[in-house]
Amino acid sequence: MLPCALNGAARCCMERSASGRAFSTVRRFVLGIETSCDETGAAVLDDTGAILGESLHSQKQTHLDAGGIIPPVAQQLHRENISRVVQEALDRSGIEPSELTAVATTVKPGLALSLGIGLDFSRKFVRLHEKPFIPIHHMEAHALTVRMLHPVDFPFLVLLVSGGHSLLALAKGIDEFLLLGQTLDAAAGDTLDKIARRLSLRNHPECSSLSGGQAIELLAKEGDRLAFHFKSPMGQLYDCNFSFAGLRNQVTLAISKKEREEGVEKGQLLSCVKDIAAALQHTVASHIAKRTHRAILFCKSKGLLPQHNPTLVVSGGVASNEYIRQTLKIVTDATGLHLLCPPSKFCTDNGVMIAWNGIERLKQGKGIMSHSEEVNYEPKAPLGLDITSEVKDAAIKIPPLKLRINS
């Protein structure tokens, strides 16, 4: 491959065909910036999906110490780190700002104060360097990350489960989604985190540096899920929506009861903490699996999934939980779907997924704005066309499946 002159927005290279004749190819580069919650991420990708450089500043430990995400604190940490994180991604990529084809940034949904930092930085950056700007929907980016890693054609079913979101959707194109179900109250990840705090898992020697969800998963491996019975939410509602608030209440009551029985004070660990973790994890996994099962059957009944190699893509931070993945594998095996989960590092928030979404949009010429156009962030933003009422009207009853996972 022979280097050629830079055109200011891409690199032109000379390659040789099988016949030996030289021809030019143009590589395009996108800088992705993510600040929707508590991770400051940036990455530079080329149009093949190659990660040329990335950087991530995690606020996890700060928020663990505080007992939860405090938006003004998250905002300040983004403000302090975004310039460094972006520069690190550029330096590691070897790409100069003048060589970028575009900049893609999360503008919805998320914490308003966090989104504002990323958008403000990006607007100044694209104006300074006169680069096109691509606003990104955070959940759309999670849904499409898998296409950077595997040749997944549309349409496919998407399950996104994270600290702030739980939803099921059919991806029909890079900006075309049918929303099948979403959480009616709390998200799965938020529920796991809050129960972990209620159990004081930060005081457990094996969990001091883990997030709530990670701590629950770790302790559940040695727990007996049958020691506690928590009712799976929404068992009599035949739709694909999620609800975790009632489950959290069940678990909190059980914890309070055990504390009274054992004479445990706040901050101390219950003797049965691993059993509670196992029972909670199983109930969350079961609820997610049942709603996903119904979504699959609905899509099949409406002819929305391809006959050949239909796929379920699972992403978001909670998708890193191996027990939940195995539970979903039981569902996809029973329904003939192919299960795809990005590696854990791509399930949580990062700049790579934002840059890739930018690449996808750049290739199709969708949602690309000039550096001078105004754009606002949106803390609340639905994903796609809402057909949850149609799913509910179908009232599909799912056949029983044994969601039995070997430890």
DSSP state of 378: -
How far is the C-alpha of 275 from the C-alpha of 149, rounded, in Å?
Answer: 36
How far is the C-alpha of 273 from the C-alpha of 252, rounded, in Å?
Answer: 12
Which one is predicted more confidently, 343 or 10? 343
Which tokens sit at 342? Answer: 């990005």
- At residue 168 the predicted structure's pLDDT band, cuts being 50, 70 and 90, is very high
Which tokens sit at 80? Answer: 């302090």
CB 219, CB 205: distance < 8 Å: no
Q: What is the bridge-based pairing of β-strands 385-386 and 176-182?
A: parallel
Residue 18 has a pLDDT of: 46
- 3 state SS of 24: strand
Residue 7 has a pLDDT of: 35
DSSP state of 308: S
Q: What is the pLDDT of residues 320-346, one digit of tens each?
A: 999 999 999 999 999 999 999 999 889
Q: What is the pLDDT of residues 212-247, one digit of tens each?
A: 999 999 999 999 999 999 999 998 899 999 999 999
Burial of 109 (0-12, 13-18, 19+ CB in 10 A): buried
CB 15, CB 23: distance < 8 Å: yes
How far is the C-alpha of 231 from the C-alpha of 224, rounded, in Å?
Answer: 16
The pLDDT of 352-376, averaged and rounded, is 97
DSSP state of 183: B
Evaluate the CA torsion angle 406, 342, 308, 157 in order and state its sign: positive
DSSP state of 242: B
Q: Where are the alpha helices (DSSP H) in 12-111?
A: 60-66, 71-93
Q: What is the pLDDT of residues 128-152, one digit of tens each?
A: 999 999 999 999 999 999 999 999 9
**pLDDT averaged over every residue in the chain:** 92
Q: What is the bridge-based pairing of β-strands 10-16 and 22-34?
A: antiparallel
Residue 19 pLDDT exceeds 60: no
Residue 52 pLDDT exceeds 70: yes
Specify the long-range contacts of residues 55-64, CB closer than 8 Å, at least 24 apart.
55/84, 55/85, 55/86, 55/88, 55/89, 55/92, 55/351, 56/85, 56/350, 56/351, 57/81, 57/84, 57/85, 60/211, 61/209, 63/38, 64/202, 64/209, 64/211
The pLDDT of 366-394, averaged and rounded, is 96
Q: What's the longest Cα–Cα distance across the chain?
A: 81
How far is the C-alpha of 123 from the C-alpha of 104, rounded, in Å?
Answer: 10
**Residues linked to residue 170 through DSSP beta bridges, in sequence order:** 157, 178
